[in-house]
Amino acid sequence: MWLFLLRRCGLAVLIVMLAVSALYLMIHAIPGDPASIILGPRATDEMKAALYIKMGLDQPVYVQLASFFANILQGDLGYDVFSQRDVTDIVLEQLPWTLALIFASVFWAALVGIPLGCYSALHANTWFDTLTGIVSVGTIAIPSFVVAIYSLLVFSVTLQWLPAIGAGEQGDLLSQLEHLILPAFAVGLGWVGYISRLVRASMLEVMGSNHIRTAKAFGLPSRWITFRYALRLAILPTVTLLGVGIGYLLSASLFAEIVFARPGIGKLIFDAVSTRNYPVVMGSVLVTTGLFVIATTLADFINALLDPRIRAGR
């Protein structure tokens, strides 16, 4: 198990380094001059040159990249010359809002999707199964931004039950929860469908397997068989999906941050790319890539815990 974990962690570090390096080269390849964008039309050449030096852009790209990684080892993500603040502070300010949104979305989607999928599998080909199938595909098909806009129009504009914008008052948990409901609903709705369909399919497959038939033949209670043996295996693809899904949601949260005017890492990266604010782009992408890799590694780890065959590398 420890070897498995060590191997996965080593791979994770390599993936992060490769992804960040690739992005670094890509962002320098696209047209756009940060000094012109930042300083505006009235900047002199001397002012632009001074900014280049401040941002370290006067160095060759490979030197910039090497110094970026060297700084990371010291826990320094760089310095934003616009706001004159550390990138680490900027990223850490925005990250909790995005994580709260992602975890709330995934949490409620799993909370509804897993039981729905289980129940559909156990009552396959009934009217309930057909209905959940239609609803699930429907929720997958509706784009999240449409859900976001309609939920805003219904719950904020017409009923005025929930706030339309922002992330809530600092230190006021209730206010933050109120501000989280609609974005999490919009982001998570499609995932309810995904998860319930996946759990249903896996459950049907597992319920037909030999060891479940044997358990039934021994006369074990059906609830015991379902939750103790079948769901434990059927949940594996869902755990993997959630691991990958969290990474996907890191970027997908951008639309929710724009529509609901929420702070977050997605919008931070979007704005930073538009202004070619390289230090903020790199710092934010490093953190999100790291989170993505951690989430997928964690999913692998949980799968290994649940399924001894994975631990054994079979």
Partner 1 sequence: MAINTIQKGLRLSRRTLLMAGTVMGLNMMVPFSMAASDEVLQSRSYVDITSLDPANYLNAVDEDVMGAIYSKLIYFKPGNKWEWELQAAESIEQVDATHIKFKLKEGIQFSNGFGEMTAQDVKFSFERAAFGENPAAAADWGGALEEVEVTGKYTGVIVLKKPYQPLWNLALSYAAGNIISQKAYESVGEFTNSPPASSGPYIVKEWRPKQKVILERNPDYYGEPSAYKEIHINQIDDEKTAEIAFESGNLDVTRISMSSVQSYRETPPDNSQLQVFPSLFYVWLGINFENPKLQDPRVRQAIQYAVDVPSILQASYFGEAEASTGIIAPGLLGHRAQSLIAPEADIAKAKALLAEAGVSNLELSLDVLNKATNVTTAQIIQALLSQIGIKVNINQHEAGSFWTLGSEKAGERWKDIELILNRYSMVPDPYYATVNFITSQKGKWNWERFSNEEFDQLNEQAQAELDLEKRGAMYQRMQDLMEQSGSYRFITHEAEPLAIRDNVSAGLRPDGRPLYRHFKPAN
Nearer to partner 1, 41 or 60 (CB): 41
- Candidates 16, 219, 205; CA nearest to 117 is 205
**276 near 34, Cβ under 8 Å?**
yes
Nearer to partner 1, 90 or 304 (CB): 90
Nearer to partner 1, 69 or 227 (CB): 227
Options 11-19, 67-75, 84-92, 191-199: segment touching partner 1 (CB under 8 A)? 84-92
Instruction: Work out which of 45, 218, 219, 223 binds partner 1, going by CB under 8 A.
Output: 45
Q: Does 50 bind partner 1 (CB under 8 A)?
A: yes
DSSP per-residue string spanning 248-286: HHHHHHHHHHHHTT---HHHHHHHHHHTT-HHHHHHHHH
Query: Smallest distance from the beta carbon of 40 to partner 1, in angstroms?
Result: 6
Nearest-5° Cα angle at 249, 182 to 203: 95
Of residues 255-314, those binding partner 1 (CB under 8 A): 258-264, 267-268, 273-276
Instruction: Work out which of 5, 7, 25, 33 binds partner 1, going by CB under 8 A.
Output: 33
Enumerate residues 6+ apart whose C-beta is below 8 A from 21.
65
Report the C-alpha gap between 17 and 14 in whole angstroms: 5
Enumerate residues 6+ apart whose C-beta is below 8 A from 190.
139, 140, 142, 144, 147
- Cα-Cα-Cα-Cα torsion 61, 65, 68, 72, nearest 10 degrees, comes to 180
Query: Smallest distance from the beta carbon of 259 to partner 1, in angstroms?
Result: 6
Q: Which residues pair with 80 in a beta bridge?
A: 85
H helices present in 208-261, as ranges: 210-217, 222-224, 231-234, 236-259
Instruction: Work out which of 73, 74, 84, 309 binds partner 1, going by CB under 8 A.
Output: 84
Provide the sign of the torsion angle of the four alpha carbons 110, 113, 116, 121, taken in this order: negative
Nearer to partner 1, 237 or 263 (CB): 263
Of residues 206-245, those binding partner 1 (CB under 8 A): none
Nearer to partner 1, 20 or 256 (CB): 256
Contact letters (x/-) for partner 1, 145-184, by CB under 8 A?
Answer: ----x--xx--xx-xxxxxxxxx--x---x---x--x---
Query: Smallest distance from the beta carbon of 102 to partner 1, in angstroms?
Result: 17
Instruction: Work out which of 26, 44, 125, 314 binds partner 1, going by CB under 8 A.
Output: 44
**191 near 109, Cβ under 8 Å?**
yes
Nearer to partner 1, 30 or 73 (CB): 30
Query: Smallest distance from the beta carbon of 134 to partner 1, in angstroms?
Result: 28
Q: Does 38 bind partner 1 (CB under 8 A)?
A: yes
Angle between helices 265-274 and 278-306 in degrees, nearest 10: 140
Q: Which residues would be at the binding site for partner 1 (CB under 8 A)?
A: 30-33, 35-45, 47-48, 50, 82-85, 90, 93-94, 149, 152-153, 156-157, 159-167, 170, 174, 178, 181, 258-264, 267-268, 273-276
